[in-house]
C-alpha cells in the first residue's frame, strides 16, 4: 500500500512539474500579433513541394517565377514563389549557428535567388520547422528562432512556411492546456516564439503556420500568424477535396482579414483529377478564402488549367479588400437535404452577392435554390445573375420568391454573382 502511494505521489509530481513548465513557457512566450503590412488577403503563389519534393534547385525556382510572368499569373495577383523543405545543408554553421543553403542546389545562394525573384516584381518564401529538424531531416528552428528570423530577413524573404515535424516530447501537447486556452499550449508557444522573432525584423514576413490542425490552431492562429494549416498534406483526389472543405466549414468564424484557414496547396495539374474536380478545387479554395498556393510544374499546365487558375472573378472574391469573410453554407430551400460537405454557399464582396454550388454526387444533378433563402438577399428585391466562370450575364431577372435551377456535372462547382436590378 505504501509503495502504491509513493508511486502515485511521484506521478503527481511529474504532472505538476509538466504543468508548471508548460505554464512557465506560455508566460514567457512572445505575444506579438502578426504583421499588418502583409497577409491581409489570402496568399497567392506557388510552392516547390508538390511538384518536386526534395529534388529542388534554384533553376526550378526561377523557372516558376518566370512562368508567373509568361502565363500572366502575376497579372492576376499571384506573387509568392515559395521554397519548401530540403533547401539547406544538414548542419548549421558551427560558428554563427546559421542555417546554410545547399550550395549544390542553390549555388548563387538564397539571397541572390531572392533578388532575382524580386526583380520580376514577385516575392519569395522559404520553409523551416518548429521542431529540432524539418520533416526531411534538415535543421529546424526550435530554439534558434531569433537567428533564423534574422537570417531570413537578411536574405530578403517575404513568406515563411513553418512546419511541425520532429517536436521533442516536452514540447508537444498530450492534453488541453491548463485553463483550456490552446494559445498557451506548447504547440502554440513554439509558433509564438517564431512569430515574436519575425516581429523584430525590418521586413514584413507573412507567417504560415503549418501545424496540421493540431492544438485547435483555428482558435489562436490569428494571434500568431496569417494562416494556419487545417490538416495533413493535400492529395490530388476528390476525397481530399471534400474532406478538407468539411473541416474548413466547421471553423469559418476564424476567417477574416489577416486570418486564413489553410486547406493546403493546390493539386491542379497533379494526379487524375477531372476538369470538374479541379474547378471545385479552385473555387472552394477561393470562396472559403484559403491561401491558393499552386503545387505543380507550371510548364506542364494546359490552357484549360491556366484559364481556371486565372479566373479573374473568383480571384476578385478571394482577394476582396472590403469583405474578409469566407462564403458560408446556407439552406437552399425549405426541406433541402443536408450533405457533407455542404453544397450551397453564399457570400458578399465589393461587387455584389455570391452563390456557389458544389455537386458532391458522382453524376450530373440539378441544383436549385430560392433567392429568399440566400441570407444576404433578404425577402424582397429583383435580381440578375452573372456566371463567374464564363463572365456572362444570364438572361432574365428574378424576384425574391423565385427559384433558380441549374444542371451541374459530377463533382463540379458553379459560381454566380447576384446584383440588384
User: pLDDT tens digits for 165-203?
Assistant: 999 999 999 888 888 899 999 999 999 999 999 999 999
Euclidean distance between CA atoms 421 and 418, whole angstroms = 9
Q: Are the beta carbons of 101 and 88 closer than 8 angstroms?
A: yes
User: Could you write out the DSSP letters of every residue in 352-394?
Assistant: EEEEEEE--SSS-EEEEEEGGGSTTT-S--EEEEEETTTTEEP
Q: Is the Cα torsion angle 266, 272, 277, 278 positive or negative in sign? A: positive
3-state secondary structure the chain: CHHHHHHHHHHHHHHHHHHHHHHHHHHHCCCCCCCCCCCCCCCEEEECHHHHCCCCCHHHHHHHHHHHHHCCCHHHCCCEEECCCCCECCCCCCCCCCCCECCCCCCCCHHHHHHHHHHCCCEEEEEEECCCECCCCCECCCCCHHHHHHHHHHHCCCEEEEECCCCCHHHCCCCCCHHHCHHHCHHHHHHHHHHHHHHCCCCCCEEEECCCCHHHHHHHHHHCCCEEECCCCCCCCHHHHHHHHHHHHCCHHHCECCEEEECCCCCCCCCCCCHHHHHHHHHHHHHCCCCEEECCCHHHCCHHHHHHHCCHHHHHHHCCCCCCCCCEECCCCCCCCCCCCCCEEEEEECCEEEEEEECCCCCCEEEEEEHHHCCCCCCCCEEEEEECCCCEECCCCEECCCEEEEEECCCCEEEEEEEEC
Percent of the chain whose pLDDT exceeds 70: 94
- Band (pLDDT 50/70/90 cuts) for residue 25 is confident
State residue 20's pLDDT score. 39
Q: Are the beta carbons of 395 and 387 closer than 8 angstroms?
A: no
Q: Identify whether 84 is a catalytic site residue.
A: no
The continuous run of DSSP H or E covering 292 comes out as strand 292-294
Domain map of the chain by residue range? Answer: 27-172+182-319, 328-420
Instruction: Choose the catalytic residue: 115, 233, 297, 387.
Output: 233
Section 154-175 average pLDDT: 95
Whether the predicted pLDDT of 71 surpasses 90: yes
Distances (CA, A) of 175 to 18, 71, 191: 11, 48, 18
Whether the predicted pLDDT of 14 surpasses 50: no
Q: Identify whether 85 is a catalytic site residue.
A: no
Candidate CATH numbers 3.40.50.360, 2.60.40.3880, 3.40.50.11930, 3.20.20.70; the one for domain 27-172+182-319: 3.20.20.70
Whether the predicted pLDDT of 26 surpasses 60: yes
Cell 509564438 belongs to which residue? 192
Section 23-27 average pLDDT: 74
Instruction: Choose the catalytic residue: 163, 262, 264, 412.
Output: 163
State residue 174's pLDDT score. 82
The continuous run of DSSP H or E covering 249 comes out as helix 238-249
> Which tens digit of pLDDT belongs to each residue from 187-243?
999 999 999 999 999 999 999 999 999 999 999 999 999 999 999 999 999 999 999
> Which tens digit of pLDDT belongs to each residue from 257-276?
999 999 999 999 999 999 99
Whether the predicted pLDDT of 22 surpasses 80: no
Whether the predicted pLDDT of 15 surpasses 60: no
Whether the predicted pLDDT of 34 surpasses 90: yes
Whether the predicted pLDDT of 6 surpasses 90: no
Candidate CATH numbers 2.60.40.1180, 3.90.700.10, 2.60.120.10, 3.40.50.1820; the one for domain 328-420: 2.60.40.1180
Enter the DSSP assignment of 221. Answer: G
Amino acid at each position: 500500500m505504501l509503495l502504491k502511494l509513493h508511486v502515485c505521489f511521484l506521478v503527481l509530481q511529474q504532472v505538476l512539474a509538466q504543468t508548471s513548465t508548460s505554464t512557465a513557457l506560455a508566460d514567457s512566450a512572445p505575444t506579438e500579433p502578426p504583421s499588418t503590412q502583409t497577409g491581409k488577403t489570402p496568399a497567392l503563389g506557388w510552392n516547390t513541394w508538390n511538384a518536386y519534393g526534395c529534388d529542388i534547385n534554384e533553376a526550378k525556382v526561377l523557372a516558376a517565377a518566370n512562368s508567373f510572368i509568361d502565363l500572366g499569373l502575376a497579372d492576376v495577383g499571384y506573387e509568392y514563389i515559395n521554397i519548401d523543405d530540403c533547401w539547406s545543408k544538414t548542419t548549421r554553421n558551427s560558428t554563427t549557428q546559421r542555417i546554410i543553403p545547399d550550395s549544390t542546389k542553390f549555388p548563387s545562394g538564397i539571397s541572390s535567388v531572392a533578388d532575382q525573384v524580386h526583380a520580376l516584381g514577385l516575392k519569395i518564401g522559404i520553409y523551416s520547422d518548429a521542431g529540432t529538424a524539418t520533416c526531411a531531416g534538415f535543421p529546424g528552428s526550435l530554439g534558434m528562432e531569433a537567428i533564423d528570423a534574422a537570417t531570413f530577413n537578411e536574405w530578403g524573404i517575404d513568406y515563411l512556411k513553418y512546419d511541425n515535424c520532429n517536436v521533442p516530447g516536452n514540447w508537444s501537447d498530450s492534453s488541453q492546456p491548463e485553463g483550456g486556452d490552446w494559445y498557451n499550449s506548447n504547440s502554440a508557444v513554439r509558433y509564438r516564439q517564431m512569430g515574436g522573432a519575425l516581429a523584430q525584423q525590418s521586413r514584413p514576413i507573412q507567417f504560415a503556420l503549418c501545424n496540421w490542425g493540431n492544438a485547435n490552431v483555428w482558435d489562436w492562429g490569428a494571434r500568431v500568424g496569417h494562416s494556419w494549416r487545417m490538416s495533413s498534406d493535400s492529395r490530388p483526389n476528390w476525397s481530399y477535396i471534400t474532406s478538407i472543405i468539411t473541416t474548413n466549414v466547421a471553423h469559418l468564424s476564424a476567417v477574416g482579414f489577416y486570418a486564413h484557414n489553410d486547406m493546403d496547396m493546390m493539386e491542379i495539374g497533379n494526379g487524375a483529377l477531372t476538369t470538374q474536380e479541379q474547378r471545385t478545387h479552385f473555387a472552394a479554395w477561393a470562396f472559403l478564402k484559403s491561401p491558393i498556393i499552386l503545387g505543380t510544374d507550371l510548364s506542364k499546365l494546359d490552357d484549360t488549367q491556366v484559364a481556371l487558375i486565372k479566373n479573374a472573378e473568383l480571384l476578385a472574391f478571394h482577394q476582396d479588400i472590403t469583405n474578409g469573410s469566407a462564403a458560408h453554407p446556407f439552406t437552399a430551400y425549405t426541406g433541402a437535404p443536408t450533405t457533407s460537405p455542404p453544397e450551397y454557399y453564399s457570400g458578399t464582396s465589393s461587387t455584389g452577392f455570391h452563390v456557389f454550388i458544389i455537386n458532391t454526387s458522382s453524376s450530373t444533378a440539378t441544383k436549385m435554390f430560392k433567392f429568399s433563402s440566400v441570407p444576404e438577399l433578404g425577402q424582397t428585391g429583383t435580381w440578375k445573375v452573372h456566371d463567374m466562370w464564363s463572365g456572362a450575364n444570364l438572361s432574365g431577372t428574378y424576384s425574391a420568391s423565385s427559384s433558380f435551377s441549374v444542371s451541374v456535372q459530377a463533382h463540379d462547382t458553379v459560381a454566380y454573382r447576384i446584383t440588384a436590378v
